[in-house]
Amino acid sequence: MPDVTKTDYIKLFAHRFAILLYLIFSLFPLYWLLKIAVTPDKLLYSEGVKMWPSKLTWVNFELVFTQSEFPTFFINSAIVSSATALLTTLIAAAAGYAFCRFKFRGKLIISALLLITQMFPLVMVLAPIYKIMAPLGLTNSLLGLVIIYTAFNVPFAVFLMQSFFEGIPRDLEESAMVEGCSRFTALRKVIIPLTLPGMAATLGFVFTAAWSEMLFALMLISDSSVSTFPVGLLNFVSKFAVQWGQMMAAGVLALIPACIFFVFIQRYLVQGLTAGAVKG
């Protein structure tokens, strides 16, 4: 039946076309970032709206590496983000498991509280948090940032992990327990290997959230030696001019870790989405 295949082709085409449109829409800013990063400063204003500059330059990248504090920011960000991601995932995995498998008093209240924390706009809590952190000496410190980021990411991560644990049939760990495992061994040998995709997803999610966070970083950090990268970007905005080229070059560089991270966890993410579907 040729008619059917024809409509099938049209459907396929429409589908792909829609995806393409979406991709162009969402990736265009990134493209612009890259374009400006490689455009020589002189041409920036004369060829501002061209899709591609007539001349390319790497000088912005060079300047970022040699003249700015960008490498420090970069390292700070990497430390803060990975520490936050690790800590959050650990806490969330433990809490998610408990929520999913155990009955305990106050379970409902605790999950309600976790939800409530997600409802406040951050701006509301900025000042109190500063008030708490300052006497503890946690302003101007990476540790302070890690603590705050972890605190703010844990609730959502807990729900995420809980749903991953719930995707694993109880029979599996019960079977392991009958076969001679303690609850902990069953967790280690059966449940954790099966939740790795979920943990990777959580890790990735928290990492990117921490990597691009700016509000708290801006408020808690004033010393540039402990600045993270989003705050560092503002250094390119001086009183007299914005160093667009360098700023964009730094932005491009900042994308790299996130990209690497996602390439790395991507296969777990795909697995994670399908793992729950195949039971037993």
Partner 1 sequence: MASITLNNLSKHFDKTQVLKNINIEMLEGEFVVLVGPSGCGKSTLLRSIAGLEQISGGDIFIGETKVNELAPKDRDISMVFQSYALYPHMSVERNMGFSLEVQKVPKAQIKKIVSEVAESLGLSQLLDRKPKALSGGQRQRVAMGRAIVRHPKAFLFDEPLSNLDAQLRVQMRLEIKALHQRLKSTIVYVTHDQVEAMTLADRIVVLNAGVIQQVGPPLEIYDRPANLFVAGFMGSPSMNFINTQVIMDRGQLCLQTTSGDKLPLVHQYQNLQVGMHISCGIRPEHVSILDSGFGHLQGRVNALEPTGISEQIYCDYQGENLCIYSMQRSGCKENQAIALQLDVHKLHLFSEQTGLRLQQLPDAIAEYKVVSGE
Site residues, partner 1 (CB under 8 A)? 169, 171-172, 174-182, 185, 189-190, 193-194, 275, 278-280
Rounded least distance, CB 248 to partner 1, Å: 44
* Cβ distance to partner 1 smaller for residue 42 or 189: 189
Rounded least distance, CB 263 to partner 1, Å: 23
Phi, psi of 46, rounded to the nearest 5 degrees:
-75, -35
* Cβ distance to partner 1 smaller for residue 70 or 164: 164
* Cβ distance to partner 1 smaller for residue 176 or 254: 176
Rounded least distance, CB 173 to partner 1, Å: 9
* Cβ distance to partner 1 smaller for residue 33 or 172: 172
Rounded least distance, CB 102 to partner 1, Å: 13
Residues 6+ apart with CB under 8 A from 225: 69, 72
CB of 226 closer than 8 Å to CB of 140: yes
Closest C-alpha among 177, 180, 200, 242 to residue 36 = 242
Q: Is 242 helix (H, G, I), strand (E, B) or coil?
A: strand
Closest C-alpha among 197, 88, 195 to residue 152 = 88
* Cβ distance to partner 1 smaller for residue 126 or 194: 194
CB of 36 closer than 8 Å to CB of 49: no
Rounded least distance, CB 98 to partner 1, Å: 18
Q: Is 237 helix (H, G, I), strand (E, B) or coil?
A: strand
Structure tokens at 155: 């609730």
Closest C-alpha among 263, 267, 233 to residue 248 = 233
